[in-house]
A and B are shown apart, each in its own frame.
Chain A
Amino acid sequence: DAGVTQSPTHLIKTRGQQVTLRCSPKSGHDTVSWYQQALGQGPQFIFQYYEEEERQRGNFPDRFSGHQFPNYSSELNVNALLLGDSALYLCASSLGFLGEQYFGPGTRLTVT
């Protein structure tokens, strides 16, 4: 049974560029949440998708957007990248809106 998978593992972008990160939830899960973990900090909640809609959002600007597909996989898009967007981006999936969350290994984004 595959757990939560994320791609790519690492990537490097330049300021001002746009990036797309991908997440496949654990088998049987239908809800995906995204978190940003800056170096030396705890993860911060970005948003959550359920039934292909954004259900909750943390304190992140509109440059951060997402999407959930009919197969429950999800994308996180960040536009106009800033140096401060450099972080580990974690995806978590759950069964249902209130189900227990399982975390993926993360995508490390470096903005230069």
Chain B
Amino acid sequence: GNSVTQMEGPVTLSEEAFLTINCTYTATGYPSLFWYVQYPGEGLQLLLKATKADDKGSNKGFEATYRKETTSFHLEKGSVQVSDSAVYFCALNSNTGNQFYFGTGTSLTVIP
């Protein structure tokens, strides 16, 4: 079956620190992988995606590489800002039914 396992939170970092949020997946076939961000009281916003192995998704300083050999899609950012405080969700889409499978989310708080 399809599932996503995400690093437990919450994570608290100082501004300009390096961020890594781990994500591993189990999937049948060849899924696409995503990171979504959710700010308090809001819906989901697509942060980045990768559709095949070795692809790197990037946006707003965030990056994640689709690693088929380790079934991972870890999110990284070199220097976080207070405005990055949010909940981050790793997700996969099986591409056979266009159904998303989400991790449980990782809450990030960045302090000045």
Contacts and interface: CB of A to CB of B under 8 A. Distances in A.
A98 B43 contact: no
B102 A33 contact: no
Given A33-B98, A56-B97, A98-B95, A42 B43 contact: no
Interface in B26-80: 36, 42-46
Interface of chain B: mostly helix, strand, loop or mixed: strand
Q: Which of B43, B44, B99: most chain A Cβ within 10 A?
A: B43
Given A104-B43, A105-B42, A42 B105 contact: yes
A99 B36 CA distance: 17
29 contacts: A33-B98, A33-B100, A40-B105, A41-B104, A41-B105, A42-B91, A42-B105, A43-B89, A43-B100, A44-B102, A45-B100, A45-B101, A48-B98, A48-B99, A55-B97, A56-B98, A56-B99, A90-B43, A90-B44, A92-B100, A97-B98, A98-B98, A101-B93, A101-B100, A102-B46, A103-B45, A104-B43, A106-B42, A106-B43
Q: What 4 A-B pairs are tightest by C-beta distance, nearest first? A: A42-B102, A105-B43, A103-B44, A106-B43
Given A41-B105, A43-B89, A56-B98, 12 more contacts: A33-B98, A35-B100, A41-B104, A42-B89, A42-B104, A42-B105, A48-B98, A58-B99, A90-B43, A92-B100, A101-B100, A103-B36
